[in-house]
Copies of this chain bind each other. A is one copy, B any other.
Amino acid sequence: MPGIVECVPNVSEGRRGEVIDRIADAVRATDGVRLLDRTSDVDHNRSVITFAGPADAVEAAAHALVAAAFAEIDMRTHRGEHPRLGAVDVVPFVPLAGTTMDECVAIAHHFGRAVAERHDVPVYFYARAATRPERTRLPDIRKPQYEGLAAAMASTHAPDAGPSRIHPAHGAMVTGARPPLIAFNIELDTTDVALAKRIAKEIRESSGGLPAVQALGFGLTDPPRAQVSMNLLDTSVTSLARVWREVEERAREAGVRVLRGELIGLMPLDASLQVTADALRLEGLARDRIIEAHFLE
């Protein structure tokens, strides 16, 4: 079996259930691909579809998703709180077991050019697939939004592929390659939300903490408890084990125990092996030391 690629498109429809169903069904109908998750937000009017499989199958499923979304979503009537450029707003490709970041960059470029060609839509390459530094961060690309993109295209926003004019109904699309994202929370044995907020601030990259870590402190209600809620954007830079220790140490200094971890959604195999290696003080735990992983490549 060839390696696995994950794809996490964000589409600009989060309210019409039957439309989201048809978009998800287009992915599900693609041979070799597994639909792993779909989450819709009514206020954002936006859905995140998560699927994975061998590279060819994933690229085919992404095309099927684009065709289904373009058939149903018209940006001229789309309203929602979340920033967006188009009906299929962003399509990240993520390397998992047996694939590399370079392969996902190549898939993103190939896929983006094909969508631009087939649908006459301007396409931008972001993250590891960016072809210029100012296109690395998604918020920078998305800043003018659908409504302001036509004007921006004349200056900063020349597309990486496709026509130099926005598509009235579909808008524009962003695609690229990035490491897997892990959503992970840690519950503290306290109701002191200020402590969770302080720890979050100390460990997150934006306040000078750990690279590739986003963190916020929250209060849970039932039972009442403080929680540090995190996104790990690249566990090859900052691992789950490191984050766990940094939170635990800061909690302990405040006389508070760490109660439990919580994984939101799924995690990639390699991130789990990294935690295992850390806990057993192995000098790394390569994927080929896991019996079943031999059947993934």
- Using CB atoms and an 8 Å cutoff, list the residues of chain A in contact with chain B: 1, 4, 6, 34, 36, 52-53, 96-97, 180, 184, 240-241, 244, 258-263, 265-269, 272-273, 275-276, 278-283, 285, 288-296
Contacts and interface: CB of A to CB of B under 8 A. Distances in A.
Contact of A260 (B241, B283, B290, B293): B283
Given A1-B1, A52-B291, A292-B269, A279 B34 contact: no
A238 B269 CA distance: 23
B294 A282 contact: no
B96 A279 contact: no
Contacts of A244: 279-280
Given A36-B291, A260-B282, A267-B291, 13 more contacts: A34-B294, A34-B295, A52-B294, A96-B291, A96-B292, A267-B289, A268-B290, A269-B291, A269-B293, A275-B275, A278-B279, A279-B279, A292-B293
Which are the 4 A-B pairs with shortest beta-carbon distances? A261-B280, A279-B279, A275-B276, A272-B276
Contacts of A36: 291, 294
Contacts of A263: 280, 282, 285, 289
Main secondary structure of the interface of A (DSSP, over half): mixed
Contacts of A258: 281
Contacts of A293: 269, 292
> How often does this chain occur in the complex, in copies?
2
Nearest to A290: B269
Instruction: Kindly name the residue among A1, A4, A267, A279 whose own CB sees the greatest number of chain B CB atoms within 10 A.
Output: A279
A262 B280 CA distance: 8
A278 to B, nearest CB: 7
Contacts of A6: 291
Nearest to A281: B260
A288 B52 CA distance: 13
